[in-house]
Structure 1
Amino acid sequence: MSHLTGEFECKLDNKGRMMIPAGLKKKLPEAESEGLVINRGFKKYLVIYTKKEWDKKLDELSKLNQYESKNIEFIRYFTRGATELTLDAAGRVNLPQSLLDYANIKADAVLTCQINKIEVWDKAAYDAMIDSEPENFAALAEEVMGDKRKGETI
């Protein structure tokens, strides 16, 4: 899979079905044959993975020592609500009501691509999050992406 980019506004119907936008669907050719997996995000949003990406996450989790309580707790909360999605003939996926409730998504959603996953946000919550961009984004960029070798002796 190539890296995913873009933001897409979507509407959910009264049954919780969402049309995968055509531009995004083109970037997910395996979605029709293999399906997708949706899960809770770390905050009040949802995350969609291709089946292949989800399996990578499960492989990472399987390497954790499951005799350590923090690992068990993380696995439990990370996988809670994970649901396989299949596209119907119209290119829609049916999002589980429990996950929609968790993320407070009603009818208007934003899909935002994040390299190898897709975040699904309630539109109002997404707009509020984007509006709270750090005042000094350049400083955040330097902290996160700056020279990782600073402080190392050569």
Structure 2
Amino acid sequence: MALFVGRHLNKIDKKGRTSVPKPFRASFEDQSFRGMYAYPSFKFPAIAACGEEFMILLSDSLTAETDFFSDDQDDLAAVILESATQLSFDGEGRVILPQDLLDHAGITDEALFVGRGREFFIWEPGAYETHSKQAFNRAREAKRTLKLKVTGDNV
């Protein structure tokens, strides 16, 4: 499964096209669909994006971790699966971001691609800076720590 890290700032043209950062694009090469999935983040004013394998994992987790016909399942399916859009790469590695996603994130002429592990977010740069500072301060003030998951593969 792909691992997205780092930040990459790219321009958006008048048609809504932007280049997907090359390190991110390379993560999609082994999937059957030549592109990415994008949907509005319901937590942030940003666009969430991922590859086919992670989208399948989201769908499978939704089925396995929520009760069938429950409000939780319906709500999460609406937020993620129903709102997702397949965005195909053109020959130059660009995608066209739909206007509704751009509006949701407040993105106009620049898009900041931010890696978050198995997915990435596309932010309006100023909104991301505000979010990033707040997250850093919250983590520092709460003295957050992380227990590393140790398996035979990463020892």
Q: Do both share a fold (TM > 0.5)?
A: yes
Shift of 1:18: 0.8
Shift of 1:7: 0.8
* Structure 2 CA distance for aligned equivalents of residues 67 and 32 of structure 1: 30
Q: Give the conservation status (yes or no) of the 8 Å contact 1:38–1:49.
A: yes
TM-score, structure 1 normalization: 0.82
* Structure 2 CA distance for aligned equivalents of residues 34 and 92 of structure 1: 11
**What residue number does 1:9 align with?**
9
For structure 1, which runs of at least 5 residues remain unmatched after alignment?
148-154
The answer on 1:58 being equivalent to 2:75 is: no
**What residue number does 1:125 align with?**
127
Q: For the pair shown, which has the larger CA radius of gyration, 1 or 2? A: 1
Shift of 1:73: 1.9
For structure 2, which runs of at least 5 residues remain unmatched after alignment?
149-155
Quick one: percent identity of the two aligned structures?
A: 21
From 67, 83, 86, the counterpart of 1:84: 86
The one-letter amino acid paired with 1:81 is: S
Could you give the per-residue CA deviations for residues 1-59 of structure 1, whole angstroms, max 9, x where no partner exists?
Answer: 34221110111111111111223323432368542100111221111110111011111
What's the C-alpha RMSD, in Å, of the aligned pairs?
2.2
The one-letter amino acid paired with 1:58 is: S
* Secondary structure, aligned partner of 1:141: coil
Judged with a 3 Å threshold, the aligned counterparts in structure 2 of structure 1 residues 129 and 96 are, in CA distance, closer, same or farther, namely same
* Structure 2 CA distance for aligned equivalents of residues 32 and 20 of structure 1: 18
* Structure 2 CA distance for aligned equivalents of residues 73 and 136 of structure 1: 29
**What residue number does 2:152 align with?**
none
* Secondary structure, aligned partner of 1:129: helix
TM-score, structure 2 normalization: 0.81
Shift of 1:108: 1.1
